[in-house]
Chain A
Amino acid sequence: MTRGLAGAALAVALAAGVGWAAPAPAATQPAPAATKVDEQTVRDVATQLRCVVCQTVSVADSPSETANQMRAIIRERLAAGDSPAQVLAYFVERYGDWILLSPPKSGFTLLVWVVPFVGLGIGLVLVAITVRRWSRAPQAAGPSQLDPAVRERIRREMSETDR
C-alpha cells in the first residue's frame, strides 16, 4: 500500500513537472528574429529566476540593478527568438540550478518534490493501521480474559454499593 501511495505521489510530481515544462514546445517554433517581446513573457521567465544579489526574491520582484539588468537580458534573448525555456537554460548554464527558484524535478532535488508525498503516504498508512487496531482489539481480547471469579466479585460488590 505504501508503494501504491508513493507511486501516486510520483505520478503527481511528474504531472506537475509536465505542467511546468509545457510552455516549451509551443515556444520552440522558430520565432521571427527581433519579434516584439510580450512583457508578460518576460515577467513569467523572471519569476522563475532567483535574483542573485538578494535572498529568496525572484528577478521579477527585485528592484535591484542586477535584477533590472537580468530582465533586460531576458527581454533581449526573447527578442532574438529564444523560447522561455532557452532563456532559462541560458541562465542555468552560467549559474547552475541554483538560479532556478523551483528546484529541478530530477536528481537530488527530486527529493524535495517527492518526500512530502511519500511522508504523507506513510503517515496515512500508520494512521489507518493504528485506527484499525484500536477499533478491533477490545472485541477480540476484552471479556474472555477476565477471570470468572473476579467478574463475580465485581458484580457482587457493585450490587452492594447500589443498595
Chain B
Amino acid sequence: MSASRLRWAIPAAVIPVLVLLAYGFKTDPREVPSPLLGRPAAAFSLTTFAGTPLSLEGLRGKVVMLNFWASWCIPACYEEAPALERTWQAYKDKGVTVVGVNIQDKEAAAREFLSRFEHSFPNAPDPRGRVAVDYGVYGVPETFFIDSRGRVRFKHVGALTDNIARRHLDALLKEPS
C-alpha cells in the first residue's frame, strides 16, 4: 500500500518544485518589467550641458526617445552612442527628439563622452538622480520611448541599436497624434 502511495507522492512533491524552478530560471533577474508603460511620462526640467533649459513639457507633441547614460558605463553606453546620434540625425526632422540624461556621473567625464561621440542632441545631467528615480531607472543604459501624447510606451534595457530605435519610433510616428 505504501509503495503504491509513494508512486504518486514523489511526482506530486517533485513536479511543482521543478515547474517553479523552470519558471524561475527562465526569467532574467535583471530584466524587470516597468510599471510605467502606458502611463504619462514624468515631467522633468533640467539644464543641458550647453546651458539651455530642457523640459518634457517643452517637447509636447513630439515623440521623445529618452536615453539614460553614464560615461563609466562600459561597454553598453559606448556601443550605443553612435546609434543614438545616427537615430537623432535620421529622425530630427520627422517629429522626434532624442534626449540624453546623464546620471551618477562626473561632469568632466560626461562632457568628454559627449564630445568624443559628437552628440548633437540635447543632453542634460541629473545631479540629484530625481529624473532617474521618476522613470524607475535601475541601470544604464536604459531608453524610454514617449509618444506624442506624453505617454511612456516602450522601455529598452541595455545598449540600443539602430534597428530597435527605428522599430519603436516608426510605430509611434504612425499613430495619430
Contact = CB atoms under 8 A, between A and B. Distances in A.
A133 B1 CA distance: 12
26 contacts: A52-B137, A52-B138, A53-B138, A53-B139, A65-B129, A66-B104, A66-B132, A69-B128, A69-B133, A70-B129, A70-B133, A72-B128, A73-B129, A73-B133, A91-B133, A92-B35, A93-B35, A94-B35, A94-B36, A94-B135, A95-B32, A95-B35, A95-B138, A96-B32, A96-B35, A98-B32
Contacts of A70: 129, 133
Interface string A104-135: 00000000000000000000000000000100
Interface string A50-89: 0011000000000001100110110000000000000000
Could you say which of B2, B35, B134, B139 has the most chain A C-beta atoms within 10 Å of its C-beta?
Answer: B35
A74 to B, nearest CB: 10
Contacts of A52: 137-139
B33 A96 contact: yes
Contacts of B36: 94
Contact of A73 (B2, B32, B130, B136): B130
Specify the main secondary structure of chain B where it touches its partner. loop
Give the interface size class of chain B.
10 to 19
A66 B129 contact: yes
Nearest to B42: A94
Nearest to A92: B35
A98 B32 CA distance: 7
Contacts of B104: 53, 65-66
B34 interface: yes
Contact of A94 (B2, B33, B136, B139): B136
Contacts of B32: 95-96, 98
